[in-house]
Amino acid sequence: MNENNENKRNIKDDIIFILKKRGVVLGAVLVLIVGCLLYAPSIVQTNTRVGNRELPIYCVDTTEKKVALSFDAAWGNEDTQQILDILAKHNVRVTFFMTGEWMKKYPDDVKKIYEAGHDIANHGENHKNMSQLNTSDIQSELLKPHQTIKELLGIEMCLFRPPYGDYDNDVITTATACKYYTVQWSVDSLDWKDYGADSIVKTVLNHKNLGNGAIILMHNGAKYTKDALEQVIVGLQTQGYELVPISKLIHTGEFHMDHTGKQYKN
């Protein structure tokens, strides 16, 4: 048995001991935490609390002129290939936050996204309002797609975006226990409002929060995203920005947050 499996067995043995000695309630809490530990990758302990609030990462403090494009994938798939073609044309890597349902419905496209070098990220299993769920259900929403990707691609995801951007302290702490960085956005393209391609381009390129470390929200299934994407990429590059996936933008070591959700390296 390798060291990792031995550690897992020891953890399980510890839980059994605690269940016997400390009672079912405490044991149940530990089982929840260990469930995340066994099914998710290891990351450095981080500080997501500001005052009495737990915060996701909205943007990143950096002196480098870098921004991250991200796409939420929950409904529809008609435009995914065209989006991938445009990204490839400009040699841009992005982050795709996918629901478990979407992964299972379009496994070939998940593979294409991964093989093209883009981040594969977690958007929950069923696109639920996470703040309305109990801790156990939040964990389930995280770990089901985690296992789907592990079986499909053999990789461990570590980026999570709550559906609808909906979160509370329990959502963030549970995601952290499951070894996920919770990521929102600082620039909303508003592509989901279907105002048209020109509106998307102007919204992104003129956004008040566009700057070093910005995270831009788009959707692979929005009506006009594919028509606006190339102009958005060229416009950002013309302004001097390098487009990188979120995994290459956020601080993955020790960090802290400010009240706006900006992530700072310790």
φ/ψ of 215, rounded to 5, equals -115, 125
Q: Active-site residue 72, yes or no?
A: yes
Q: What is the largest CA-CA distance in the chain?
A: 64
- CA angle centred on 9, ends 158 and 15, rounded to 5°: 90
In 3D, which of 244, 237, 175 has the Cα closest to residue 216?
Answer: 244
Q: What would the two tokens of residue 83 be?
A: 């989006």
Task: Note if 127 is an active site residue.
Answer: no
User: Choosing from 72, 109, 119, 191, which is the catalytic residue?
Assistant: 72
Which one, of 87, 67, 104, 115, lies nearest residue 245 by Cα?
67
Q: What's the burial of 51, exposed, middle or buried (CB within 10 Å: 0-12/13-18/19+)?
A: exposed
Q: Are strands 53-54 and 49-50 parallel, antiparallel or unpaired?
A: antiparallel
Round the CA-based radius of gyration of the chain to a whole number and report it: 19
118, 127, 219, 251: the active-site residue: 219
Q: List active site positions.
A: 72, 219
